[in-house]
């Protein structure tokens, strides 16, 4: 199956990877973090603010592919501390309706940028 890179214009860009790749109706996102469109960290030391920004970036990436949170079938969430769990859960619960996507939650030693606390990636299926 051919892969297509879908351009995303309203999130911080990095030429080292694609934010969104489609394979047929399947959409796979890169991990989204708490960077604004200019590449500035949103909510340093604030897991709630970082979670909100990461999920907003995820929403924008999905929208570029014609998808919404309702199309997400799998989430993977990376955090740098167990203390982030409630903040991430609160944001996730506010955005995803039943049936909620399958989800994996990982606590990692760190993310690519030291001040980042949360990273979220998704797999969605466009109808």
pLDDT recorded at residue 15: 78
Sheet holding 118-125, edge to edge: 4-5, 20-23, 26-29, 118-125, 72-79, 102-107
pLDDT recorded at residue 85: 96
Q: Does the pLDDT value for residue 16 go beyond 90?
A: no
Q: CA-CA distance, 124 to 29, in Å (whole number)?
A: 8
Fold adopted by 4-125: 60s Ribosomal Protein L30; Chain: A; (3.30.1330)
Q: CA-CA distance, 61 to 87, in Å (whole number)?
A: 21
pLDDT recorded at residue 127: 85
Domain ranges of the chain: 4-125
Model pLDDT for residues 41-77, shown as the tens digit of each residue:
999 999 999 999 999 999 999 999 999 999 999 999 9
């Amino acid at each position: 199956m051919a892969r297509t890179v879908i351009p995303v214009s309203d999130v911080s860009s990095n030429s080292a990877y694609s934010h969104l790749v489609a394979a047929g109706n399947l959409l796979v996102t890169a991990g989204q973090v708490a960077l604004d469109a200019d590449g500035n960290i949103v909510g340093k030391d604030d897991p709630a603010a970082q979670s909100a920004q990461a999920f907003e970036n995820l929403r924008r990436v999905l929208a570029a592919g014609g998808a919404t949170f309702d199309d997400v079938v799998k989430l993977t969430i990376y955090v740098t501390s167990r203390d982030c769990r409630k903040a991430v859960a609160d944001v996730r619960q506010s955005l995803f309706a039943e049936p909620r996507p399958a989800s994996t939650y990982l606590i990692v030693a760190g993310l690519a940028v030291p001040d980042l606390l949360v990273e979220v990636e998704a797999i969605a299926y466009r109808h």
